[in-house]
Amino acid sequence: MPHPMLAKPLADTPAETLVDTLVGPVVESLVGSFTGILLRRVPRRRDRSTGTPSPPRAPRNPTLPAGAGVVTAVLSAMLAAVAVGVWIRSLRVALHRERHEARHDRLTGLPNRRVVEELLRSRPGPAVVGLLDLDHLKAVNDHGGHAAGDQLLSAVASRLAAAMAGRGQAARLAGDEFVLLWDRFPADLPTEAAALLHALQQPVIIAGHSHHPTASLGLSIRSPTLTGTDLLAAADAAMYAAKRGRLGLCIAGESAEVMALPGT
Task: Residues 113-260: name the CATH superfamily.
Answer: Reverse transcriptase/Diguanylate cyclase domain (3.30.70.270)
Selected residue with higher pLDDT from 198 and 29: 198
Q: What is the pLDDT of residue 32?
A: 57
Q: What does residue 226 show for φ and ψ, rounded to 5 degrees?
A: -115, 130
Write down the pTM of the prediction.
0.65
CB atoms within 10 A of CB 70: 12
Q: How does strand 258-260 pair with strand 128-134?
A: unpaired
Between CA 255 and CA 128 the distance in angstroms is: 14
Share above pLDDT 90 across residues of the chain, in percent, rounded to a whole number? 50
Q: Which amino acid is at 7?
A: A
In order, the DSSP letters of 64-104 are SPTTHHHHHHHHHHHHHHHHHHHHHHHHHHHHHHHHHHHHB
Average pLDDT, the chain: 80
Q: What is the pLDDT of residue 75?
A: 78
- pLDDT tens digits, residue range 144-162? 999 999 999 999 999 999 9
**In the chain, what are the domain boundaries?**
4-103, 113-260
Strands (E), the chain: 128-134, 168-174, 177-182, 204-206, 209-211, 215-221, 249-252, 258-260
- pLDDT tens digits, residue range 56-108? 555 555 555 555 666 777 777 788 888 878 878 887 777 777 787 889 999 99
Between CA 144 and CA 141 the distance in angstroms is: 5
Between CA 105 and CA 48 the distance in angstroms is: 77
What value does the CA radius of gyration of the chain take, rounded to a whole number of Å? 32
